[in-house]
Structures are given as structure tokens and as C-alpha cells.
């Protein structure tokens, strides 16, 4: 169909960017909302107490980590529905005394958004409640955060083959979760990452070794061994403070 320049596309041709799922009776459901999460890392933090006090005062939805690879390092993972929050309220927080003395580590900055796969029957839970509850769960003090990028070859595979590859990867995560070893937070970061990564992954658990073992096991999957072009850098932290579980800023 030919269209004149500047004319509006028919409604049927407009992209639908909402998150999709399936209701309990199999009916299509959708939600045009999602949660944004950002990890920021800092050095030169000799006393985390003023940072914790600032976070408590501002009442943000976040987890603060001690950086296991830097005795003066910390990491802050923040969740908000409205991305404006990161360049307004969070930016203001980063410019007060407790944070101004810290040294940013932009190489560890990660930003992503929650997403649905298409079969979920509770989008509110998948996109909001589950990632926030995991981020703020005191029973999950260890965290491994990292970005990854798939190769263009993967995107050209038939859908059924893609589905099988992802299922292999997902089964490992489900097995580790069922054993109580850890849970994950998976975020899409297409167009949001300075290094052109596709996803940000957070592995959260009671102990560190199972999270390392999960990464090791996933190395053997087809997705990791054949179709990843970038993995990391890895931020490994242990919780210093978590906000109470609540609805993220909107």
C-alpha cells in the first residue's frame, strides 16, 4: 500500500510494544508497563553507613552491595517503573555528600527493563513483583550481575530452534532455583547499553558458590558456547542494605 510522506499508518500496521502473556484460559493478555533496573558501581567507599542513611532517607527501591573484588567498592541496583527517575531523583541523590566522595566505575554500569516471554498469565507478577521481591530478599544476599550479547546468527535461526536453545538454558536456571541455590533477574537492554549488549542478568542466592556453579553449567549450553559474542564484565557483591519490598517508583 502506497502512502504519502507524513501520513499516518493504519492502526493495524502500528507496532505493538506491550508485554504479552496468556490468561488462565489461554486468552491473549498484555500490559504496556515494565520495570527498569540499573546497577551503578563505585570505589573509594571507606564507610558505607552514610550511603545507607541517604538511601533510607530517599526511600528508593534498591539493594546496596559490598564489591567482593574491591575492599573499598560498592554497587547499587535501583528499580523504578518510570525511567525519568534515573535522571531526576536518582541523579539528585548521586550529587549529595554521601555519594559525591565516591569514585564512579562506569565500566560496571548496567541498565535494563523487565520483559515477558509471551506465555505468562500474571504480567504484574513477572514484570514487577518478582524482580523486586528477589532484589530485596534478605535470604538472597549474594549477587552476580553481568551483561551479555547474542550473535546475529542466533537471530536468524528458525523460531523453534531458538525456543529449544533458550529452553535448555532456562531449564538449568529452574533446576538451580528448585534446589534453593539461587534465582535470577533477567532484563532486556537492547539500545540501552553503551556496549550494545542485549540482556542484563542478575543471579541472586544465599551462597556464592552455587551462583558460580550455575554460570559454569550454563557455559555448556548451545546459547553460551555457540551464540554469545560478549559476556561480562561481572559485578559480584554481597548485600549491605536492601529496601523493604514495595512497589517501585513510578
Strand 142-150 to 74-80 pairing: unpaired
pLDDT number for residue 167: 84
Spatial separation of the C-alpha atoms in residues 169 and 209, rounded to whole Å: 19
pLDDT of residue 213: 96
Q: In terms of DSSP bridges, do strands 228-231 and 110-113 run parallel, antiparallel, or are they unpaired?
A: unpaired
User: Tens-of-pLDDT digits for all 250 residues of the chain?
Assistant: 455 555 566 666 899 999 999 988 888 989 999 999 999 999 999 999 999 999 999 989 999 999 999 999 999 999 999 999 999 999 999 998 899 999 999 999 999 999 998 888 899 999 999 999 999 999 999 999 999 999 888 888 898 888 888 888 788 889 999 999 999 999 999 999 999 999 999 999 999 999 999 999 998 888 888 888 999 999 999 999 999 875 444 4
- pLDDT at position 11, please? 64
DSSP state of 8: P
Alpha-carbon gap, residue 143 to 206, rounded angstroms: 9
- Residue 155 CA to residue 202 CA, distance in Å, equals 23
- What are the tens digits of pLDDT across the range 40-92? 999 999 999 999 999 999 989 999 999 999 999 999 999 999 999 999 999 99
Q: What one-character-per-residue DSSP string does 143-206 give? A: EEEEEEEE-HHHHTS-HHHHHHHHHHHHHHHHHHHHTTS-EEEEEE-TTT-TT--SEEEEEEES
CATH homologous superfamily of 36-242 equals: Apc35880; domain 1 (3.30.70.1030)
Q: What is the pLDDT of residues 132-151, one digit of tens each?
A: 999 999 999 999 999 999 98
Strand partners, 63: 77, 242
Residue 192 contacts residue 38 (beta carbons within 8 Å): no
Report domain extents, the chain: 36-242
Residue in the structure block whose three cell numbers are 541496583: 77
How far from 70 is each of 73, 89, 208, 210, CA to CA, in Å?
5, 27, 16, 21
Rounded Cα distance between 90 and 88, Å, is 6
DSSP tag of 244: P
Amino acid at each position: 500500500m502506497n502512502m504519502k510522506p507524513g501520513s499516518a499508518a493504519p492502526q493495524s500496521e502500528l507496532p505493538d510494544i506491550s508485554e504479552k502473556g496468556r490468561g488462565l484460559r489461554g486468552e491473549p493478555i498484555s500490559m504496556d508497563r515494565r520495570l527498569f533496573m540499573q546497577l551503578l558501581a563505585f570505589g573509594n567507599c571507606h564507610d558505607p553507613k552514610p550511603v545507607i542513611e541517604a538511601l533510607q532517607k530517599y526511600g528508593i527501591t534498591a539493594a546496596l552491595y559490598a564489591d567482593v573484588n574491591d575492599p573499598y567498592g560498592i554497587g547499587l541496583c535501583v528499580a523504578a517503573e518510570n525511567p525519568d527517575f534515573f535522571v531526576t531523583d536518582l541523579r539528585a541523590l548521586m550529587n549529595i555528600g554521601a555519594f559525591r566522595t565516591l569514585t564512579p566505575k562506569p565500566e560496571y554500569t548496567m541498565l535494563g527493563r523487565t520483559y515477558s516471554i509471551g506465555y505468562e498469565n500474571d504480567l504484574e507478577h513477572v514484570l514487577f513483583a518478582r524482580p523486586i521481591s528477589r532484589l530485596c530478599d534478605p535470604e538472597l544476599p549474594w549477587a552476580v550481575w553481568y551483561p551479555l550479547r547474542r550473535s546475529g546468527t542466533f537471530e536468524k535461526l528458525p523460531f523453534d530452534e531458538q525456543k529449544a536453545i533458550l529452553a535448555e538454558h532456562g531449564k538449568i536456571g529452574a533446576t538451580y532455583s528448585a534446589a534453593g541455590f539461587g534465582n535470577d533477574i533477567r532484563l532486556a537492554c537492547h539500545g540501552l547499553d553503551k556496549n550494545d549488549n542485549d540482556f542484563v542478568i542478575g543471579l541472586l542466592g544465599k551462597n556464592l558458590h552455587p551462583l558460580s556453579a550455575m554460570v559454569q553449567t550454563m557455559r555448556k549450553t548451545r546459547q553460551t558456547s555457540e551464540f554469545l559474542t560478549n559476556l561480562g564484565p561481572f559485578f559480584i557483591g554481597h548485600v549491605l542494605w536492601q529496601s523493604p519490598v514495595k512497589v517501585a517508583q513510578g
